[in-house]
Structure 1
């Protein structure tokens, strides 16, 4: 880390939340809202396509798998482009891709064309989550980073409920195509509004563009109040930005924890969220009733983000993930044993809440904190691309497990994934609560060098 980069990080962490931070949250949040809306519409749309005879469970599995194939490519591309050309460039590029592909999907003449456009759409969708959460973490002061990540996750995951509600209202009366028009048009509007978003000062400093980094930081300081003196951080060598450094001593365990958090979180999420409407139809519920129950369950998405907001900077990321993974596994095992609509909705709400607590704490915040600036987007991109790649096979695994063991088999699979995440976090996870990004990186270097007692730590005053 150069002294200039260290200074940028110190200055940003010394500020109170101000108008700039709230405006940045709105710009990033708007794009991620439509990204998630587009991602979550699969359940309602696929249920309707099966009901209309346009698709079947096997074509639905291909649709979901091709979505994840695009998401995998997009997540990795975002990491490479974001670390090479900047967060802002990568953000605008992927937003345009998924916005235009969504409009094309609304005009798809057949299921095969819809699957193709979904693949292209996935490239943009996979990039948005990598750049959005990482960019926010580089601007927001350490004392507020967990809460702001939870707010961004709340904005993002409110689209889960709104997408399922829109499916319930629009699909029976206007058809499934309008479900693609909404996020496509919204993404293009946000693309225009977000042209004024600044580049990350931490990234600018990390690539030697110190004057630009200082200029952006000064502009942020002009809109904010300094609530503490910039903390002193020892000048430490910055990573050179090479991919192999993600697997270097000190960083390797963090990279593996990040991969596990993303893979397990995504697998549990899509094993449940994408398949609930189809499972309900298979259980004998009509399309409208199925979508109504799904909307009630998916209200747990915002609830999970609100819980994360309350605990992220108190209980912390690591132990919050452990606690709600255990609770999610326990509630999930109840799901096959409830039969009436109210009980199904209540248990489904509980499962969804736990899933989105792990999403807010892990995907939105924790993973972005595990990598140094020069490697952050490639590290987060690697975790996300492997998570998406793993999920290419999840739809087929769910179909196979459902065919052999029904809902009990599917929720048992989910519980095992939750508990694997718990084991990895307990033995290998670190806590990042209330620590600056520079301190987390310095701690890693101190661990490698065995200098814990010699190197001063950066702590919040």
Structure 2
């Protein structure tokens, strides 16, 4: 039983230190480079079409290969992380992304590039999920939401990073250098993770490797005492605490009893994230053009509106631990639903910009809440990565089909209908989260595993 394990309680009592900051630095850097490689594909495709390497069909295959890789990685990474450990799962996927990105630098044709793009996607899909889920096991519950949100904040600078570097690299060097830079950065992260990314003591204890968990934890406690010039209070296990033994759980436990409730809530949370994210951000420029705004101006307006993304995540990191998780997430969904409707009926450019900017601000607060904070917290240690991996994989499937649904609604009924349908779906998701979600704010992971 996880609730009887003092390992988690000892981790939760630790003050933030260089140990935590190193873990944060390695994971956030990896997420940043993952995003850089993902968004670099959009920049690279334009160049490949212009030089005759690619066409619309190959571009579609290139994009689909990444999405398929994300789907595979989310599933496979969960099994690797729960069975072989957080550290191995994280480092193996860093290596997969690093090697495949470097290999993409030297491909002779588009078909090989598509192949390595799929491998990159597999590693990146696993890295995103493993990174967020593993991070929750190291950070004290009082600040877990804030620091998980900061991971998301760093990672979401990747679109601007890839665009800025791409302008220079593709113009003066070669599109191949984009992949080389991303691959080299991933290999650097792999090297640093070998030095500073320890195996999760919670996972070790759950697997019955208590001596290894104790060894890691004693080293961390010693480092913190030396760094902070303090003596940590001795840990005395309460009389009712027993050795939790070896935790094991079939993947199918995710679909039984109270765990099924968590699985369905997590899927709902991520469906809400994906349908709003891929409806609003992907289709904003098209909706502008369909409204009579010229292409150049629509691109500029989209760029201005997207400023709300990093600002939203930054604010989320400041306030997310001040509100109950269920209330926070469901309130954001209702706000996004209302803003989406009001945004869709605007005709003046200043109003479109204003509503759009505020809507993106709240949307990315929710993206941060869903992907970085709430979903990774929901699971017991022995199911954390498989649970996160499965629901993220479902979210990827929704992301693939959402654009088709939006296209049908937009073509037949117009943009207002698109946002009305989106709003209704988001309100339903908000009700499910509020009524059936569990509260995880400032609660230890061991306590969360016992909540019903």
TM range (shorter): 0.7 to 0.9
Q: 1:333 to 1:101 in 2, by over 3 A?
A: farther
Contact 2:438–2:451 (Cα < 8 Å) also in 1: no
Equivalent residue number for residue 295 of structure 2: 285
Structure 2: where are the runs of 5+ without partners? 225-229
Is 1:266 aligned with 2:274?
yes
Q: Distance in 1 between matches of 2:350 and 2:87?
A: 45
Alignment of 1:46-445 (within 5 A): 62-106=61-105, 112-166=111-165, 177-196=176-195, 197-224=197-224, 226=232, 235=242, 240-276=248-284, 284-286=294-296, 292-337=300-345, 345-444=353-452
Q: 1:192 to 1:127 in 2, by over 3 A?
A: same
In the TM superposition, what whole-angstrom CA distance separates every residue of 1:97-144 from its partner, at most 9, and x where no partner exists?
222333444555665554443322210111011110111100111111
Query: 1:61 Cα deviation (Å)?
Result: 5.0
Q: Distance in 1 between matches of 2:111 and 2:177?
A: 18
Equivalent residue number for residue 227 of structure 2: none
Q: Distance in 1 between matches of 2:39 and 2:381?
A: 30
Q: Distance in 2 between matches of 1:284 and 1:48?
A: 23
Contact 1:11–1:230 (Cα < 8 Å) also in 2: no
Q: Does 385-394 or 132-141 show the bigger shift?
A: 385-394
Contact 2:205–2:246 (Cα < 8 Å) also in 1: no
Q: Distance in 1 between matches of 2:121 and 2:389?
A: 14
Q: Distance in 1 between matches of 2:159 and 2:370?
A: 18
Q: Distance in 1 between matches of 2:408 and 2:439?
A: 37
Q: 1:205 to 1:417 in 2, by over 3 A?
A: same
Contact 2:11–2:140 (Cα < 8 Å) also in 1: yes
Q: Distance in 1 between matches of 2:99 and 2:375?
A: 29
Q: 1:44 to 1:240 in 2, by over 3 A?
A: same
Q: Distance in 2 between matches of 1:98 and 1:157?
A: 18
Equivalent residue number for residue 453 of structure 1: none
Q: Distance in 1 between matches of 2:341 and 2:56?
A: 24
Q: 1:141 to 1:106 in 2, by over 3 A?
A: same
Contact 1:329–1:415 (Cα < 8 Å) also in 2: yes
Q: Distance in 1 between matches of 2:339 and 2:43?
A: 24
Q: Distance in 2 between matches of 1:44 and 1:337?
A: 32
Query: 1:274 Cα deviation (Å)?
Result: 4.4
What's the secondary structure of 1:333's corresponding residue?
helix
Q: 1:29 to 1:398 in 2, by over 3 A?
A: same
TM-score, normalised relative to structure 1: 0.84
Contact 2:306–2:360 (Cα < 8 Å) also in 1: yes
In the TM superposition, what whole-angstrom CA distance separates every residue of 1:391-437 from its partner, at most 9, and x where no partner exists?
22234334434433454454445434422321211221111111000
Query: 1:164 Cα deviation (Å)?
Result: 4.2
In the TM superposition, what whole-angstrom CA distance separates every residue of 1:264-305 from its partner, at most 9, and x where no partner exists?
21332233444556766786424xx66654443333232122
Q: Distance in 2 between matches of 1:409 and 1:182?
A: 43
Q: Distance in 1 between matches of 2:372 and 2:178?
A: 25
Q: Distance in 2 between matches of 1:48 and 1:278?
A: 22
In the TM superposition, what whole-angstrom CA distance separates every residue of 1:147-205 from its partner, at most 9, and x where no partner exists?
11011111111223333444566666667555444433321221122112110000000
Number of aligned pairs?
Answer: 441
Equivalent residue number for residue 459 of structure 1: none
Q: Does 5-14 or 403-412 show the bigger shift?
A: 403-412
Q: Distance in 2 between matches of 1:354 and 1:50?
A: 35
What's the secondary structure of 2:322's corresponding residue?
coil
TM-score, normalised relative to structure 2: 0.85
Alignment of 1:21-60 (within 5 A): 21-45=20-44
Contact 1:267–1:391 (Cα < 8 Å) also in 2: yes
Equivalent residue number for residue 456 of structure 1: none
Q: Does 430-439 or 410-419 show the bigger shift?
A: 410-419
Query: 1:261 Cα deviation (Å)?
Result: 1.3
Q: Tell me the C-alpha RMSD between the 2 structures.
A: 3.3
Query: 1:353 Cα deviation (Å)?
Result: 2.2
Q: Does 178-187 or 387-396 show the bigger shift?
A: 178-187
Contact 1:45–1:176 (Cα < 8 Å) also in 2: yes
Contact 2:207–2:247 (Cα < 8 Å) also in 1: no
Q: Distance in 2 between matches of 1:111 and 1:407?
A: 36
